[in-house]
Amino acid sequence: MESYIYRPATELAEMIRTGKASSVEIVSEHIGRIKKLDERIHAIVMLFEEEALRTAAQCDEEARNGQFRGPLHGVPVTIKEAFWMKWTPSTMNFKYFRNFIADRDALVVERIRNSGAVIIGKTNIPKNLMDYQVKGDLYPEGKSPYGDLYTPGGSTGGGAAALAAGFTPLELGSDIGGSVRLPAAFCGLFGLKPTDRTVPPDGNIPIPKQAKSFLIHLASAGPLARNIADLEVLWKVITGPHPCDRNIPRIDWQPPTGKPFSDYRIAWVDGWPGFPASRPVSDAIRKLMRAFEKKGGTAVKGIPDDKLHSDTLDLWVSLFPYVTAQGVPWIIRQLLKMEIKSTFLKGTNAFNKGLNSAYKMDANHYARAMYTKNQVTERWENLFKQFDFLICPVAFGPAYKRCKIGSRITYDGNEVIYPHYVWPFTAPFNASGNPSITIPAGIDSEGLPLGLQVVGPYWSEPELIHFAGMLAELGSGFNRPSGW
């Protein structure tokens, strides 16, 4: 009989703190479940059984002496494969990096260790983190616990699957175009992409030895969890400046106001110009907005700036090459551009001109892109002077069936090109830098989770998390997949 599986991380931490359970017992049960069931979905690509049990035993000894490292003392967690973890591979599921072994922890991994958490494994990812499915050169293809025909999302797909399958109570992911929020939606979870430059990016991906530059745009580490309290704990653990990274400012985080629904004014959309969501997603958003209004809240459909969404997608296209192709020869940049156009962004013809310019990666282009980012971010911030938050879709629909990257996807009687199923809904907030959190929004007629995202102004995470938790209570929350 399993005693600790699917329990919240905060509850497990309290049980360890009060002596009602030991870290060894909790960690052992999660590792046993992984060993028994992971062959079905391939969520975990590295299992640190011996090291995790040693760490758990140390945590138990400290707990008996009244010593606790932090809020996650003794609690098992998993981390996305790409993060540096000392003496373990970080390959991005790409043969080019198959021999990359980290010589130290990423700053966020170091912080997770310092919180007392026990890292039990690394989770599966797509090649180069560039897909909403989980397939690549080195690991078996990842599958969804809601049906092995379906993708769990990407690129933190293995982590989302592990959470939904009860392999871990917490996952550390990263998000460059929806890679935390989309897997959270596809697996019925909570997932947070924090405000730009509030979480240190050091050690988030492997870096070629010959690299001469390293710019970070669009991407941020972020937590995934089955409930809002666990999400908040891990966000607090990884957030904040570090002496070795002067680009992360010290933010005066304000506690949530605790105000009732009636004091909130939110904007909402169930799609964007040229990118409508499916009927089930639209219905889920509208249903939640009606429940919100019944609680006294004010919900206004639409945003005042009609071009803001498309301009923000243009900005994402302008910045993307500086993340994926910096420091590589011209010919390699051209090959990368061709691969992206034929796979992940296949069919997005409207953005091809911008992608061609962006991959030239000259100083004038970069300066223009950064100038545009300031303008676009200011326009989003102006929206949040009128509204507390924005509610919008995470994707066109729920998880789609695993397929060849670039294939057209059919759902609810509609066919959309591959990138339009997700990218237009999540990428804007990587480009603008606004924080965004996915919350569960029910189950569709096929038993697949639906999600929506709540977007806030810069540095609003405490209030955003609080409000998202209130909003989630109006819905169904996490729904455990049948058979797990």
**CA-CA distance, 124 to 54, in Å (whole number)?**
24
- What digits encode the pLDDT tens for the residues 183-194? 999 999 999 999
DSSP 45-109: EEE-HHHHHHHHHHHHHHHHTT---STTTT-EEEEETTS--TTSB--TT-GGGTT-B-SS--HHH
Say if residue 155 is preceded by a cis peptide, omega within 30 of 0.
yes
pLDDT band at 1; cut points 50, 70, 90: low
**CA-CA distance, 168 to 225, in Å (whole number)?**
9
Mean pLDDT, range 379-390, rounded to an integer: 98
> Is pLDDT larger for residue 96 or for residue 330?
96
CB distance 313 to 391 below 8 Å: no
Closest CA to 166 of 480, 399, 448: 480
Percentage with pLDDT > 90 across the chain? 83
Could you tell me the two tokens for 334? 């051209």
Burial group, residue 66, by CB count within 10 angstroms (0-12, 13-18, 19+): exposed
Under CATH, which number does the domain 9-238 receive?
3.90.1300.10
Which residue bears the tokens 């026990």? 118
**CA-CA distance, 9 to 165, in Å (whole number)?**
15
Which is it for strands 275-276 and 271-272: parallel, antiparallel or unpaired? antiparallel
CB distance 73 to 116 below 8 Å: yes
Q: What is the pLDDT of residue 80?
A: 98
Q: What is the pLDDT of residue 328?
A: 66
pLDDT band at 350; cut points 50, 70, 90: low
pLDDT band at 378; cut points 50, 70, 90: very high
What is the number of alpha carbons within 13 Å of residue 481 lying toward its C-beta? 27
Q: What are the sequence ranges of the domains in the chain? A: 9-238
- Would the pTM of this model clear 0.75, i.e. be above it? yes
Per-residue b/e over 244-278, b at no fewer than 16 CB within 10 Å?
eeeebeeeeeeebeeeebeebebbbbbbbeebbbb
**CA-CA distance, 79 to 109, in Å (whole number)?**
8
Query: Is pLDDT above 70 for 42?
Result: yes
**CA-CA distance, 163 to 166, in Å (whole number)?**
5
Query: Is pLDDT above 60 for 212?
Result: no
Closest CA to 440 of 225, 133, 197: 225
Q: What is the pLDDT of residue 210?
A: 62
**CA-CA distance, 344 to 369, in Å (whole number)?**
22
Per-residue b/e over 199-222, b at no fewer than 16 CB within 10 Å?
bbbbbbbbeeeeeeeeebbbbbbb
pLDDT band at 449; cut points 50, 70, 90: very high
Running DSSP on this structure, what letter comes out for residue 141?
P
